[in-house]
Amino acid sequence: KLKIAHDVFEGLTSLNILIMSGCERLEVVPKSFEYLTCFQQLDFTDCINLKKLDATCVSMKDLRMLSFSRYENLEEMRLELKNLFKLEKLWFTNCKKLKIAHDAFEGLTSLNYLNMEECE
């Protein structure tokens, strides 16, 4: 099972695109992940065994694209999207157990694409 060390992202202060697509054994995204502030694109598509997302996106002010697709086991995530004023595209597809708060998209003034297919 893929486990990301809590400090694996330390020192990657210029990283602006991260694609973790297809990491089927990834179970937890560590809290230290949220301190990477230069992200413009994050893709966690097809990480079907992700159970826990400890990180939030609060400090990722430049984030423009965020994809969480095919998370059949993920029930809750503390993303805190409210401060992502530059976020343009957001995918939550096939997240069958995901509970989304009523105010989750509040403040996303640049959002022009939202895909929530197959979220029951």
What residue numbers bound the domain in which 36 lies?
1-120
Q: What is this structure's pTM? A: 0.81
Q: What is the pLDDT of residues 64-79, one digit of tens each?
A: 999 888 777 776 666 6
Task: Write down the residue that tokens 């089927």 correspond to.
Answer: 24
Count of the separate structural domains present in the chain: 1
Q: Where would I find the beta strands (DSSP E) of 21-92?
A: 28-29, 41-43, 52-53, 65-67, 89-91
**Whole-number mean pLDDT of the chain?**
81
What is residue 20's predicted lDDT score, i.e. its pLDDT?
A: 85
State how far the alpha carbon of 117 is from the alpha carbons of 9, 37, 57, 107, 114, in Å: 31, 28, 22, 22, 9
Model confidence over 7-19: pLDDT tens digits? Answer: 777 778 788 998 8
CATH code of the domain containing 44: 3.80.10.10
